[in-house]
Amino acid sequence: MASVNVMRKVEISSDAVSVDGVALPVCGSGEAMLDWIYRTHVGGYPKYHKMDLLCKLGFIASELLLAGEDGRFVPRDDRAVILFNRTGSQCDDLRYLSTITEGEGYFPSPAVFVYTLPNIVTGEIAIRNKYYGETSFYLISGPDTWMMLEVAGQAMDCGGVSSALTGWVECPGEDKLECMMMLAEKTVNFAD
């Protein structure tokens, strides 16, 4: 069985960001911090503003992870996007719930409803980077790195998958961020 190497790692908390262990200077916290990072380090992708908090978090993490990658944006199907959290899309779920209150306040919003599925963040990353391979989202009880790399590794054992964007992307509360995203590659064990 092939083993998995973590090539790059991005960590985002509610008020701090680090890339491969090096702190990235940021402004603000929560969603405002993510928006600041978008304006300062990304830009030119207006779809960002439609995203819910979970998608913004996953999107920004992936942008920092993939910045400067050779051959980025060339369509490929050999990279999987496999992400995890505990509460799914709960942040956006609560927001959607507020659009369907009884009586006068009943205006169900399709733009909010579409984000009430956690896997949408994997779709946003796939659209942005032209990834035609596997995209998946799993719910587990906590950021168990070993389990996440095992699931991603098993996906990479399938023929034709050479790398994966994987890790924990969670919004445990209003404006609270927990993210640890890795770029993992399959290495072949020549002893096999």
Partner 1 sequence: MTAVCAADNIISPLGWTTEENIAAVLAGRSALMPHEWAFGLTEPFVASLVDRTAVSERFGAYAGMYTVFEQMCILSIREAVSAAGIDASSAALVLSTTKANVDSLGTPHYVPPADSAARIAAAVGVALPPLVVSNACISGVCAQIEAKRILAGGKVPAVIVCGCDVQSRFIVSGFQSFKALSPQECRPFDASRCGLNLGEAAATVVYVAKDRTQSGGWILRSGAVRNDANHISGPSRTGEGSYRALRHVTAGIAVEDLAFISAHGTATPYNDEMESIAIERAGLLGVPVNSFKGYYGHTMGAAGVLECILSMHAFDRGLIPATRGFGTLGVSRPVDVSAAVRDVPPRARGFVKLISGFGGCNAAALFLKGGE
Partner 2 sequence: MEELILELKEEIIDALNLEEVTPADIDNDAPLFGEGLGLDSIDALELIILLEKKYGIRLSNPQEGKEVFKSVAVMAGYVKDNRKK
Residues near partner 2 (CB under 8 A) are 46, 49-50, 107, 109-111, 114
The nearest distance, CB 153 to partner 1, in angstroms, is 9
> Considering CB distances under 5 to 8 angstroms, the limit depending on partner class, which of partner 1, partner 2, none binds residue 147?
partner 1
- Are 175 and 14 within 8 A, CB to CB? yes
Nearer to partner 2, 24 or 112 (CB): 112
Nearer to partner 1, 88 or 185 (CB): 88
| Rounded Cα distance, 12 and 190, in Å | 35
> Considering CB distances under 5 to 8 angstroms, the limit depending on partner class, which of partner 1, partner 2, none binds residue 49?
partner 2
DSSP states of 70-91: TTTTS-BSSEEEEEEESSTTHH
Q: Which residues contact 184 (CB under 8 A, 6 or more apart)?
A: 4, 5, 6, 7, 149, 152, 153, 156, 163, 164, 165, 166
| Rounded Cα distance, 158 and 11, in Å | 28
The nearest distance, CB 35 to partner 1, in angstroms, is 20
Nearer to partner 1, 40 or 187 (CB): 187
Q: Calculate the dihedral angle through the C-alpha atoms of 26, 29, 35, 36, rounding to the nearest 10 degrees.
A: -30
Name which of residues 89 to 108 contact partner 1 (CB under 8 A): 90, 93-94, 96-97, 100, 102, 108
Nearer to partner 2, 101 or 187 (CB): 101
Near partner 1 by CB under 8 A: residue from 135, 168, 169, 178: 135
